[in-house]
Amino acid sequence: MALHNITTRQEFEEKVLQSKHPVLVDFWATWCPPCRAMAPILHQIADETDFDIVKIDIEASGDNAALAQEYRVQGIPNMKVFASGKEVAEIIGMRPKQALVDALEEAAKA
């Protein structure tokens, strides 16, 4: 569907917590090589599926840093799948595209 880069808690609430569909949230930072390596995969998922991807640069704003802390992000890349406003899966580290799509599809079934 779409890829969103967000910097405010309000955007997070609108794009993730209020979404009618499962959303993959990528907590990342510009200095993180594995995070940068995951970026093209996340773009492909957003372009090729009916799922939204939300990217949160944990250093881009105070809201983003607070969200990372609130959702217990201790290492990056850290991707979380949200469905119906709740975290339903956590994926830490680099993963193949199909593993991410599978997690989103599983959330859509629940």
Which residues have a catalytic role annotated?
A: 32, 35
d(CA 33, CA 41): 14
d(CA 15, CA 71): 16
d(CA 23, CA 21): 6
Q: Which pair of tokens denotes residue 16?
A: 């993730």
